[in-house]
Amino acid sequence: MNQMVNTVHLTKDYKKNRGIFDMNLQIKQGEVVGIVGKNGAGKTTTMRTLMGFIHPTDGYSEIRGLNSWSQASKTKRMIGYVPGEIAFPDTKSGETFLNNQLKLLRASKDTYVNDLIQRFKIDLTADIKRMSKGMKQKTALVCAFMTKAPLLLLDEPTTGLDPVMRDAFIDLVLKVKANGTTVFLSSHMFNELERTCDRILFLKDGKVIDVVDQNKFETIHSFQKVKIQTSTSEGFQKILTSFSETSHVNSENHEITVLISNTKVATLLVLLQDIEIDDISFDTQTLDNYFEKELQVK
Amino acid sequence: MSFPLLKQTFKSNFAVWGLVTLVMNIILAQLIMMKQTRTMMAPMYYGMLVSTMVALFVVICGNKLLAGQVDQGSMAYILTAPIRRTTVAFTQMIYMVLSLVGTYGLMAIVSVSANNIADAGFKAQTLVNLNIGAFMVAFAFAGIMFAASGIFNLSKYSLGTGGLLIILFILLAIVGSFATYGVDALKDVQHLTIVSLFDYQNILIEGSKWISKLAVLGGIGVVTFGIGTTVFAKKDLPL
């Protein structure tokens, strides 16, 4: 299959353990790949390096075999980009801005652009300086998608969007994915990535420490997170000894959270028959829980 | 060069350019037309005012061309398009030079016309030469500001180096100009500023020394514009 993004030992060392280190990443055409991590984990640095805005200290990255630093003007023909920080040039309205941008791209306003504007419900006549954060984000999204580029690099594309618009965004990603567009996006909202991504990379201190693919998604979802509060400490102790995998224990309130696979739920219910319970809740394990757990371990 | 970018740059800087150019032309025309100021026109206008006023435009616009847009983040949109960074810098440089050519070209026309209308007695060639000289000062200023704008990612650093240096050159030129009025001790101050490389007195007496001095200003401009473009093309951008 066609390789869209390829990084080899990609490193940008900002010293003091900041930056990205020895990143080896392959994204095939048509894949949607997410990258998550805490603030400062290196998500934006990865994006900027792929855009050719930053020169790597070591290693290199390629877009369809073209070096993203030395052949940046050629690789950008293939990229639509949403920067992590949205700041527009001094133009009057959103409309002037989009028109200027289309001229820079040497493209013209067609039905696809209009469709995007409709989809995100953007008021183009609004003064660009007075736009709300969400409005700016939506304009930036239109800017990236209207390039019709085969690769989209989206740095935290959903910040500031309301839930309805977030859904509109997810729909759009799935739509372009169906057309064979490759999408690489960063986020700290795990659940929106779950709906769109084939793979999710977990970044910590500039290193990819975990990759979640479709198989792992299923494994993660096959676990239940059960939060139990017992009335007596005997019952609390009983659960604690029977289930080794606990993610949260509070002996004062007799509160315990256990992680069990779906197949073992019956065992738990049997055990609970003899225990007096104040409160109980079941949740399917999500990426949020999973990464929370991972973070504690690593 | 990128024409769409040139057009955008022209539009977003038009107000400052237009205002500065208008004021400069009005003052120049007035100094030539009014009998009382006519004799003082060259030392007043070409000795001090012209470089001070153009510095306003050069510093504000020069910063905005590169550093300001990187600082703000809007440079990301220009560089998302398939344009080389060298092309971006080169286009911005072309804008800067062309707008200065416009300003001083207009001033040459206005000064020659005002001279004819008021019968002020200047030779047309002298007026043209004065404007060429003043243009070279502006060209060197623009280069210095452009270099600072290309080197730094933050407006405050670009203005704090390039802008400050230009203001310093102007202040030294003003202080040094008192040497002409008998304060000989200040003569050396004139060697500290590039503004004095525009030898308007030599142009007035129709000498030839002024030409080689202007070549130095041209050299400063070419080198600094080159530095700005090169650094901008090679540095890391926080976009």
By the 8 A CB rule, do A187 and A193 touch? yes
Q: Name beta bridge partners: A33.
A: A184, A199
Check pLDDT > 90 for residue A222: no
Check pLDDT > 60 for residue B71: yes
Task: Using CA coordinates, name the residue in chain A closest to B8.
Answer: A100
Q: What is the pLDDT of residue B151?
A: 96
For the record, the structure tokens of B128 come out as 């043209």
For the record, the structure tokens of B9 come out as 């740059």
Residue B145 buriedness (CB in 10 A; 0-12 / 13-18 / 19+): buried
Strand residue runs (E) in chain A = 3-13, 19-28, 32-36, 58-63, 66-67, 79-82, 151-155, 182-187, 199-204, 207-213, 223-230, 246-250, 255-261, 277-284
Which candidate, A198, A50, B152, places its Cα nearest to that of A20? A50
- Highest mean pLDDT among A110-124, A242-256, B138-152 belongs to B138-152
Q: Do B72 and A91 touch (CB under 8 A)?
A: no
Chain B hits for A81, CB-CB cut-off 8 Å, are: 76, 80
The DSSP element (H or E) to which B161 belongs, if any, is none
Q: Which of residues 138-157 of B touch A (CB under 8 A)?
A: none
| Mutation for testing the B interface, residue in A20, A90, A131, A139 having most B CBs under 10 Å | A90
Q: pLDDT tens digits for B183-235?
A: 777 888 888 999 999 999 899 998 889 999 999 999 999 999 999 999 999 99
Q: pLDDT tens digits for A271-292?
A: 888 788 888 888 888 777 777 7
Q: What is the pLDDT of residue A192?
A: 75
Q: What is the pLDDT of residue A26?
A: 92
> Does the beta carbon of B234 lie under 8 angstroms from any beta carbon of chain A?
yes
Residue A7, SS3? strand
For the record, the structure tokens of A54 come out as 């930053």
Chain A hits for B76, CB-CB cut-off 8 Å, are: 53, 81, 83, 87
Residue A99, SS3? helix
Mean pLDDT calculated for residue range B167-171: 94
Which position has the token pair 């080899």?
A8
For the record, the structure tokens of B155 come out as 């407006």
Check pLDDT > 70 for residue B70: yes
Q: What is the pLDDT of residue B46?
A: 92
More confident residue, B116 or A298: B116
Instruction: Concatenate the DSSP letters of all residues of B6-39 into one string.
Output: HHHHHHHHHHHHHHHHHHHHHHHHHHHHSHHHHT
Instruction: Concatenate the DSSP letters of all residues of A140-202 into one string.
Output: HHHHHHTT--SEEEEESTTTT--HHHHHHHHHHHHHHHHTT-EEEEEES-HHHHHHH-SEEEE
| Mutation for testing the A interface, residue in B77, B83, B153, B155 having most A CBs under 10 Å | B77
Q: What is the pLDDT of residue A70?
A: 92
Q: pLDDT tens digits for A44-98?
A: 999 999 999 999 999 999 999 999 999 998 999 899 999 988 888 888 888 888 8
How many helices (H) and strands (E) chain B has is answered by 12, 0
Check pLDDT > 60 for residue A297: no
Q: What is the pLDDT of residue B237?
A: 93
Q: How confident is the model at residue A246 (pLDDT cuts 50, 70, 90)?
A: low
Q: How confident is the model at residue A295 (pLDDT cuts 50, 70, 90)?
A: low
DSSP label of A17: T
CA A104 to chain centre: 29
Residues of A with CB under 8 A from a CB of B: 48, 51, 53-55, 72-74, 76-77, 79-81, 83, 85-91, 100-101, 103-106, 143-144, 147
Distance CA B15, CA B21 (A): 10
Q: What is the pLDDT of residue B232?
A: 96
DSSP label of A77: G
Tell me the torsion sign for CA atoms B54, B55, B56, B58. Answer: positive
Residue A264, SS3? helix
Q: What is the pLDDT of residue A86?
A: 86
Share of chain B above pLDDT 70, in %: 100
Chain A hits for B81, CB-CB cut-off 8 Å, are: 76, 101, 104-105
* CA angle, residues A219, A222, A227, in degrees to nearest 5: 125
Task: Using CA coordinates, name the residue in chain A closest to B66.
Answer: A89
Phi then psi for A176, rounded to 5 degrees?
Answer: -70, -30
Q: What is the CA radius of gyration of chain A?
A: 23
Lowest mean pLDDT among A238-242, B48-52, B67-71: A238-242
Q: What is the pLDDT of residue B140?
A: 97
Distance CA B91, CA A127 (A): 27
Task: Using CA coordinates, name the residue in chain A closest to B70.
Answer: A87
Q: pLDDT tens digits for A54-63?
A: 999 999 999 9
DSSP label of A84: S
Q: What is the pLDDT of residue A5?
A: 92
By the 8 A CB rule, do A272 and A179 touch? no
Mean pLDDT calculated for residue range B47-53: 92
Chain B hits for A54, CB-CB cut-off 8 Å, are: 236-237
CA dist B206 → A253, A272, B48, B125 (Å): 98, 107, 20, 9
List of residues 6+ apart from A293 with CB closer than 8 A: A247, A259
Which position has the token pair 């052949």?
A71
Lowest mean pLDDT among A103-112, A158-167, A208-217, A284-293: A284-293
Q: What is the pLDDT of residue A32?
A: 93
Check pLDDT > 70 for residue A108: yes
ipTM above 0.85, yes or no: no
Q: pLDDT tens digits for B96-138?
A: 999 999 999 999 999 999 999 988 888 999 999 999 999 999 9
Partner residue facing B83 (CB), from A48, A73, A85: A73
Partner residue facing B73 (CB), from A55, A83, A103: A83
By the 8 A CB rule, do A142 and A94 touch? no
> Does the beta carbon of B87 lie under 8 angstroms from any beta carbon of chain A?
yes
By the 8 A CB rule, do A282 and A292 touch? no
> Does the beta carbon of B15 lie under 8 angstroms from any beta carbon of chain A?
no
Chain A hits for B4, CB-CB cut-off 8 Å, are: 100, 103-104, 106
Chain A hits for B1, CB-CB cut-off 8 Å, are: none
Q: What is the pLDDT of residue A216?
A: 83
Q: Name beta bridge partners: A11.
A: A58
Q: What is the pLDDT of residue A1?
A: 56
Domain range list for chain B: 3-234
Distance CA B141, CA B147 (A): 10
Q: Do A143 and B237 touch (CB under 8 A)?
A: no
**Mean of the per-residue pLDDT values of chain B:** 93
Check pLDDT > 90 for residue A109: no
Which candidate, A256, A231, A235, places its Cα nearest to that of A245? A256
Residue A104, SS3? helix
Q: How many residues does chain A have?
A: 298
Chain A hits for B70, CB-CB cut-off 8 Å, are: none
pTM of the model: 0.87
Residue B175, SS3? helix
Q: How far is A197 from chain B (nearest CA, A)?
A: 24
Kindly give the interhelix angle for B124-151 and B209-234, rounded to the nearest 10 degrees: 20
Q: How confident is the model at residue A247 (pLDDT cuts 50, 70, 90)?
A: low
Q: Which of residues 66-85 of B touch A (CB under 8 A)?
A: 69, 72-74, 76-85
For chains A and B, count residue pairs whose Cβ atoms are closer than 8 Å.
77
**Mean of the per-residue pLDDT values of chain A:** 86
